[in-house]
Amino acid sequence: MTRLFWVRHGPTHASTMVGWSDLPADLADRARLARLAAHLPRAARVVSSDLVRATDTAAAIAGDRPRLPPEPDLREIHFGDWELQPFDQVPDQDRLRAFWDRPGEIRPPGGESWNQLRARVDAAVARLLARHPGCDIVAVAHMGPILAQVQGALGISAYQAFGHRIAPLSVTEMHHHAGGWHVATINHCP
C-alpha cells in the first residue's frame, strides 16, 4: 500500500484566479508549519509542484525527509487569459460560470479544462506510484490537483468534488492498494 499525503501550499493572499503564476506563499506561521510537519510520516518522500508557493512549502515541512525533484504536472490548473483576473472582471462571464458550474471540457481562452488538469495530475501520480511502490509520499500541490484526486478516489463528479474545501496547509490523505484508492481524510488541518 502507498499512502499519499496531499498538502496544499501556504496561502498566497491573492483575490484573483491564480494558476500558473509563480506567486510566493505566506509561510510566516512557523508553529502551524511545525504541527503540519509533525503530522506527516517521518520516512515519507516529499515532492511538490514546480511553482514557488509549493516548493517553498515543501522545503518548510520536509525536515530530513527525502526530497524528490519538483513535478511540473502537479501544477494548479492553467487559467490562460483569466490568470490573475478577479472573477467579476473576466469578460466572458457566461463561459466563466460554465467553467465552474459544469467542469469538464470547458477551458479558459489559452488555458486548460478540468479534464485536462485531471489527466495531467493522474499521469504524475501514476509515475510516482510506479517509482516509489509501497512508500509514503507527501505531495505539496494546489487546490485543483488535490480536488482532481479526490474526484477520482471517491468516484464523484468534478462538480461534487468542488464541494470539498481544501484549505492552505491542509492534508488530504489517500491510500492506494490493489483495489484502488481509499480516502482517509480530506482537508485535515493539524
pLDDT in tens, 79-106: 999 999 999 999 999 999 999 999 999 9
9 given a catalytic annotation: yes
Identify the burial level of 34 via C-beta atoms within 10 angstroms of its C-beta, where 0-12 means exposed, 13-18 middle and 19 or more buried: middle
CATH number (3.90.1150.10, 3.40.50.1240, 3.40.640.10, 3.40.50.300) of 2-188 reads 3.40.50.1240
* pLDDT above 90 for 179: no
Instruction: Give the residue carrying C-alpha cell 525533484.
Output: 69
Domains in the chain: boundaries: 2-188
Among the listed residues 76, 112, 142, 173, the single catalytic one is 76
Q: What is the mean pLDDT of residues 127-131?
A: 97
Q: What distance in Å separates the CA atoms of residue 20 and residue 168, rounded to the nearest whole number?
A: 17
From the DSSP assignment, how many helices (H) and strands (E) are in the chain?
6, 5
Is the pLDDT at 30 greater than 90? The verdict is: yes
76 is catalytic: yes
pLDDT tier for residue 5 given thresholds of 50, 70 and 90 = very high
